[in-house]
Amino acid sequence: MIQSMNQDPIVFALANPNLEITYEHAMEWGVRVIATGRSDYPNQVNNMLAFLGIFKGALAVQATDINDEMKMAAVKAVSELVTAEQIERGMVIPNVFETDVTNDVAQAAIDSKVAQKIPSLI
């Protein structure tokens, strides 16, 4: 299947704990970027990248809803954590422990008028 893909294929092998393709085979067979759900390989796809910050941001402003604007703010904040240099090296997902989207989500709640409280440090 890898050989049938275009040049520089990207694979999201997200089954856990056993991936659909091993990281080692993917790299050996010419995959440019592989993302997995496992923490022992680069590009770990984990809902923790956004969920913690979404909930912290919602709680910080006592949001009455977690809406699409807040979720999109989290996605944008996560995407901006990856540098062009990291992308060049095949790293497309930031480290889960270096991700904080709380302020972006709180601001989106304020902007979309679901915040009941506006903290002074947003």
Q: How many domains does the chain have?
A: 2
Given a contact cutoff of 8 angstroms between Cβ atoms, the answer to whether 50 and 71 are in contact is yes
Which phi and psi angles does 11 have, rounded to 5°?
-125, 130
In this structure, the answer to whether residues 119 and 65 fall within a common structural domain is yes
In this structure, the answer to whether residues 82 and 106 fall within a common structural domain is yes
Q: Average of pLDDT values for 25-34?
A: 94
In this structure, the answer to whether residues 65 and 114 fall within a common structural domain is yes
Domain carrying residue 19: 1-45
Q: What residue type is 38 in one-letter code?
A: R
What are the start-end ranges of the E strands in 14-58?
Answer: 33-36
Given a contact cutoff of 8 angstroms between Cβ atoms, the answer to whether 100 and 53 are in contact is yes
C-alpha dist (Å) from residue 49 to 26, 52, 54:
24, 7, 9
In this structure, the answer to whether residues 77 and 121 fall within a common structural domain is yes
In this structure, the answer to whether residues 70 and 113 fall within a common structural domain is yes
Does the pLDDT at position 121 exceed 80? Answer: no
In this structure, the answer to whether residues 41 and 76 fall within a common structural domain is no
pLDDT band at 119 (very low <50, low <70, confident <90, very high): confident
Does the pLDDT at position 94 exceed 60? Answer: yes
In this structure, the answer to whether residues 28 and 73 fall within a common structural domain is no
